[in-house]
Structure 1
C-alpha cells in the first residue's frame, strides 16, 4: 500500500516506468513516442518468451497500433510464422455450424514471436529504456515519486508507474487490496500446439461449443507453418463446481468430438498442454488506478468474456494509460483523483463492449438449445450480418 515519504526526491530517474513488456506495455511505450518523457519499460523475462494464449491477434489490435503509426502494422505483417485470418467457423453443440467473415485484416501468430516483434518496434522507434530480466520485488508510492526495487538490489525511481504485468500483476498485488477470486468473472484455459491436423481450412479460426464445456469453447487456430494452437477455456466457477480437469477434457474432446476426432487421429502434439487464467471484464472491477499508478490489459481484468481475447483491449488500454501519464506530467498532478480520469476512459471506451460480452456469454453459455437455434438461424439470408454484430 502507498507509504508516506519522509524526504523529497530531487529528480526521479524516469517520468514513466512501465512494468511488463507484453502488448499493453509495448503499446504504452509506443504511444509515448515523441512525448519527451523519460520512459523505462521493464519485464521479468528475456525476449523472446512464450505467453500461454490462443495466439489470435484481433483486428482491432492492429487498427489501434496503426492509428499510432501505420509503419508498426506494416512491420507486424512481415512477422513469421503467422496465418492470415479472414473468417471464423462456429460449431454449435448440436453439430450445426456457420461462418463469420471479418472486415478488419488480422492474423494469428504465436505470442513467442508476436510479443518479441512488438518489443522490437519499441527499440526501433522510441527512446524508451528496455530492461529485461528485471523482476519487480517491491513497489512503494511516495509523496513525490514511486520507487521500484528489483530482484538483485537495483532501484528505479519514477513519477508514475504503469502495471502491464498480466493477470497476476505484481503492481496490482502491491498497491491494491488482494481481490477475492470472482469465479463468475474468471475463466481458466489450457493450450497445446499440434501439427498434421486434417481437414483444416486456410485463413479460418474454429470454435467448438459442447455440452461438456458450456460457458466456454474449444478452439483450433492456425498459427503458420502447418501448426495449430488448440485449446479449451471455461468459466472458472464451473471448473471449480464440477472439479473439471481441463487438460484431460481437452484431449477427450479431440478424441471423441464428432467434428474433431477424425481430424486429430494422425495429429502430433508439440510440447505439453499448458494452463492459464483469464480475468474477464464486464463486472464490478477493482480500481485500475490510484496515486501515481495505473493498470492495463490483463492486470486490469480486460479480457472479453465472450470471445476470450484480450490483446486488443490490452493495446487500447496501454495507449489510454500513455495519454493519462502525459497529462499527469503536464499538470504535475499524480493524485488518485486526477488519475481516475483513466478509469473513466476505460469505462467509456471499453466498458460497454465488455458488459455486452459478459451478458451474452452468460446467456449462451447456459443454454445449448439457444446456441443450436442461433446457429441454424445464422445460415438464413440476412441473419448472418445480425449475428456477427451481436458476437463481434
Structure 2
C-alpha cells in the first residue's frame, strides 16, 4: 500500500468530498481517510441551501444540473417562522434550496468525489494522531497505519482530531450548540416547500423545527446554545418530547404521525468566534473549522465552500512550494472575508432574541409589514 501522498483529506463529508472534487484536475495524489463507511447517516437538519448549488456550479456546472435531477429531495422556496403566540411570518427565499437526507446527499457528493482519478479513499479508518513538521504532515490511524503528505486538510467534523491536535481547539459552550433530530412520517399539514421554525415559550433561547423531506417525511428537531443547556441543565431529548406531545398547537399535528427513529443528538461548533483555521501544513474546513451559522445552524454550504477554498489554496501552494503557517494564512483570510460578516450579524441576532418572548412576538408582527417583509431575505442572503 502506498503511504505517501501529495494531500491527505481527513473526512469524506461535504467539506472533504468538495475538496477532493475541486482537486480533480490538479493531478495531485490525494488520500481521503473516512472513519465510517458510505453511505452513512449524519445527524443534521438536512437543509441544503442555494449556496451549495452555487459551489457545485463553480466547480462544474454539470454538478448542479445533476443535483437538480436528484429525486429524493424537496424544493424549498420559503420559511415560516412562528412566535411564542403562534403568529407566523412567511419569508420567500430569493433562490430555491432543498432538503435532502444527509445519508443521500453526502453519499451523492462522495461518489462525485470518487471521479477524481488520483484520489484514493480508505473508509472505516479513524485518525488517532496528526503531526506536522517543516517537510511533512503525518496522519496516524487507530489501527497503527501511518500516512504522510505535503499537507493535510481537516474535514473531520465537530470532533475533529486535526483541529484538536494541530490547532488545539477546545469546545467553547458560548459558541457551540446542542441539537436533536428525529425523522417522522405523516405530520399533519406538512408543506413540502417550507421550512418551519418555532420559537416556543418555555423552550427559549432555541428553536424547534420541522423541515419537509420526500415521501411525506420530515426532519424534526430542537436546538439550543450549549452554555444555556449547561447552565439550566436542560435535557434536549426530554424537551423535544414535551414540545411534540404537550404543546397543543404542535401535538395536534403529530397525533397521527409516525416516528421513524429514536431521538438523536448532535453538536454544532458555531462560526460566532474567529479561529485560526490553518497552520504549518494544515487547513480546517466545515464543522472542523467551526463554520456553522450561529443563528440558522446551517453548515453544509459553509463546509462545501471552505472545502473548495482549501483545494484552491492547495493548488497555489504546490505551484509555489509554500506550505508554512504564514503561506496558508491566505486561506483563513479568504474564508472569513466570505463568511465573517454573515456570522457576526447572525450571532448578534441570536443574542438579541435570546429568551425575550416580547421581542420575538414584536419582530414577527413587524416582519409582516409588507415593506419590511420584502427586506427580510436580504438579512440572510
Q: Same fold by TM-score, threshold 0.5 exceeded?
A: yes
Q: 2:217 aligns with which of 227, 232, 236?
A: 227
Question: Which residue does the alignment assign to 1:115?
Answer: 106
**Distance between the aligned counterparts of 2:64 and 2:380, measured in 1?**
25
Alignment coverage as a number of residue pairs = 380
Structure-2 separation of matches of 1:210 and 1:329: 51
The TM-score with structure 2 as length reference comes to 0.96
Match of 1:184 among 155, 161, 174: 174
In structure 2, what is the equivalent of residue 6 of structure 1?
none
> TM-score, normalization: structure 1?
0.93
Aligned match of 2:51 in 49, 60, 69?
Answer: 60
- Matching of residue 310 in structure 1 with residue 299 in structure 2: yes
Helix, strand or coil for the counterpart of 1:81? coil
Q: Does 1:250 align with 2:234?
A: no
| Cα distance in 2 between the residues matched to 1:79 and 1:186 | 32
The equivalent of 2:266 in structure 1 is 276
In 2, the alpha carbon distance for the partners of 1:266 and 1:369 equals 32
Pairing partner for 2:186 from 172, 184, 196 = 196
Aligned to 1:14: 5
- Alpha-carbon offset, residue 246 of structure 1: 0.6
Give yes or no for contact 1:30–1:126 (8 Å, CA) kept in 2.
no
Can you list the C-alpha shifts for 1:268-323, whole angstroms capped at 9, x where unaligned? Answer: 1111110001110122x331011000000000100101111011111111111111
2:143 to 142, 149, 152: 152
CA-to-partner distance for each residue in 1:191-226, whole Å, 9 max, x for gaps? 001112111112111000112222321000111111
SS for the counterpart of 2:58 is helix
Q: Retained in 2: the 8 A contact 1:79–1:114?
A: no
Partner of 1:34: 25
Residues 1-392 of structure 1 aligned to structure 2 (within 5 Å): 13-179=4-170, 181-283=171-273, 285-392=274-381
How far apart, CA to CA, are the structure 2 residues paired with 1:60 and 1:259?
33
Q: Structure 2: how far apart are the matches of 1:183 and 1:36? A: 41
Aligned to 1:7: none
Unaligned regions of 5+ residues in structure 2, if any?
A: none
TM-superposed deviation, 1:84 = 1.3
1: CA distance between counterparts of 2:280 and 2:372? 48
Shift of 1:87: 1.0
Range moving further from structure 2, 137-146 or 52-61:
137-146
Distance 1:381 1:126 in 2: 52
Shift of 1:100: 1.0
Tell me if structure 2 keeps the 8 A contact 1:46–1:132. yes
Alpha-carbon distance between aligned partners in 1 of 2:202 and 2:17, rounded to the nearest angstrom: 38
- Report the CA distance shift for 1:72/1:107 in structure 2 as closer, same or farther (over 3 A): same
Gaps of 5+ in 1: 1-10
RMSD: 1.5
Tell me which stretches of 4 or more aligned residues in structure 1 moved more than 3 Å: none
C-alpha offsets along residues 229-258 of structure 1, whole Å, 9 cap, x if unaligned?
Answer: 100000111111111111011011111224
Q: Any idea what SS the aligned residue of 1:106 has? A: strand
Q: Secondary structure at the match of 2:238?
A: helix
> Quick check: 2:133–2:280 contact (8 Å CA) kept in 1?
no
